[in-house]
């Protein structure tokens, strides 16, 4: 019996899965090509991933720019409306006491900078306000930080508010006097535009101390 089996021979048995030669076909060729290019099968090309990342960054940047201009519009509108009411209802009238003598509303015209400083340099302050607006508009293109968007929006709205007064109020273009009306005891009279500028400046200082840049990166000095 053993001799018969030796003569006839045993039938060929397929090799175990994974031990035999790999089958060739379209899928295996794609896998080999992807491995040669340094990519995993089914993964997106590096160019597509980079394009998607850039698109996401651009979308975030546009949202931050929208926040900046929204804050600026709100600050500018509040300043403009408050000045219109003050000119119509409070100018040439007795001051209104809000908190006794500690806080009053008293309409005055200020030809200087914020809080009444530098009345002899009205044109210079007008040019500075215009330059600040241009700088903020250029910086907005690289803006990816929400806190910076709010801070720059406050600066932009305040600068626009006081610049509007200097351009359109008497005595003339570039020399117009700014309307101030918030009068704390023992302090200079100011307006909402001045408040927006100061708040925006303070926020920028705090962000700088924390190492947060307008583009959203954080650095440690």
Question: One of 180, 213, 215, 221 is an active-site residue; which one?
Answer: 180
Question: One of 37, 194, 213, 215 is an active-site residue; which one?
Answer: 194
- Establish how many alpha carbons lie within 13 A of residue 182's alpha carbon, considering only the half-sphere containing its beta carbon: 11
Cis before 214? omega within 30: no
Q: Is 141 exposed, middle or buried (0-12, 13-18, 19+ CB in 10 A)?
A: exposed
Known active-site residue 180: yes
SS3 217: coil
Please report the DSSP string for 31-72 in residue order. HHHHHHTT--TTPPPHHHHHHHHHHHHHHHHHHHHHHHHHHH
- Buried b / exposed e across 142-167, counting CB within 10 Å, b at 16+? ebbbebbbbbbbbbbbbbbbbbbbbe
* Closest C-alpha among 127, 220, 119 to residue 177: 119
17: alpha, beta or left, given left = phi > 0 and alpha = psi -120 to 50?
beta
Q: Degrees (nearest 5) of the Cα angle 205, 210, 215?
A: 85
- Catalytic residue list: 180, 194
């Amino acid at each position: 019996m053993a001799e018969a089996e030796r003569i006839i021979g045993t039938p060929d048995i397929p090799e175990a899965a994974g031990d035999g030669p790999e089958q060739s076909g379209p899928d295996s060729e794609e896998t080999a090509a992807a491995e040669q290019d340094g990519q995993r099968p089914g993964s997106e090309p590096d160019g597509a991933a980079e394009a998607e990342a850039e698109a996401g960054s651009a979308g975030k940047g546009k949202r931050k720019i929208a926040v900046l201009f929204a804050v600026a519009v709100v600050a500018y509108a509040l300043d403009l409306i408050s000045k219109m009411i003050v000119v119509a209802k409070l100018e040439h009238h007795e001051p209104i006491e809000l908190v006794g003598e500690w806080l009053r509303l008293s309409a005055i015209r200020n030809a200087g900078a914020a809080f009444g400083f530098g009345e002899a340099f009205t044109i210079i302050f007008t040019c500075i306000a215009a330059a600040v607006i241009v700088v903020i508009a250029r910086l907005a293109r690289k803006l990816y930080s929400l806190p910076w968007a709010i801070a720059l929006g406050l600066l932009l709205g305040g600068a626009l508010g006081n610049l509007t007064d200097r351009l359109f109020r008497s005595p003339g273009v570039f020399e117009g006097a700014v309307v101030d009306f918030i009068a704390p005891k023992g302090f200079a009279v100011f307006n909402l535009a001045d408040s927006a500028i100061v708040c925006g400046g303070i926020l920028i200082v705090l962000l700088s101390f924390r190492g947060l840049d307008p583009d959203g990166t954080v650095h440690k000095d």
